Amino acid sequence: MSEKSEHNPGPAGPAAPRGITRIEDVVVGKIAALAAREVSGVHSLGGGTGRMVGALRESFAGPATGHHSVQHGVHVEVGGRQVVVDVSIVAEYGVAIHELAGAIRRNIISAIEKMTGMEVTEVNITVLDVHLDTGQEEEQDALHIEHTPRLH
């Protein structure tokens, strides 16, 4: 079996003269997640419930599966030399969401294409929520007001 005859492109491309380079989906997912987090105006990736489930999973599974938290809210599909990315975010209040989505898209495409050499064909962004930056005291006051009976 000759390496020269094996020219099947995999996730990282054609066979090199001395071997094949494969980039796993989890690696591409981490790159996408880190690139999305770099963009100013992104509060977090994924939704609140998903983050809670991920934190519970990590507390039971330990640090060996820590990659789940890094790419929470990110799903990638790698086929041949092309990548499709789906990202779910929570945006900071006051940010122009359409501009934020464009910046996230550009940053993810740039990072993946630069680091892997693959073509990113789609970056789909879902904004799940808007984060309101309130202090701890304000939150407690709001909770107290909510639970105070209005009729005596």
At which residue do the structure tokens 């934190």 appear?
55
Q: How does pLDDT run across 6-46, given as a tens digit for each residue?
A: 334 445 566 668 899 899 999 999 999 999 999 999 999 99
Nearest to 45 by CA among 58, 34, 60: 34
Tokens representing 73 are 């809210």
Greater confidence, 81 or 140?
A: 81
Q: First CA to last CA across the chain, in angstroms?
A: 87
- Residue 2: pLDDT band with limits 50, 70, 90: very low
pLDDT tops 70 at residue 79: yes
Q: For 132-136, what is the mean pLDDT?
A: 75
Tokens representing 96 are 């122009």
Please report the beta strands in the chain, taking only residues with DSSP state E, as ranges in sequence order. 42-45, 74-79, 82-92, 119-131
What topology is assigned to 3-147 in CATH?
Alpha-Beta Plaits (3.30.70)
Q: What pLDDT score does 5 carry?
A: 36
Q: For 103-116, what is the mean pLDDT?
A: 99
Whole-angstrom Cα distance, residue 126 to residue 73? 9
Angle, in degrees to the nearest 10, between helices 25-37 and 97-116: 140
CB–CB of 71/28 below 8 Å? no
Whole-angstrom Cα distance, residue 99 to residue 103? 6
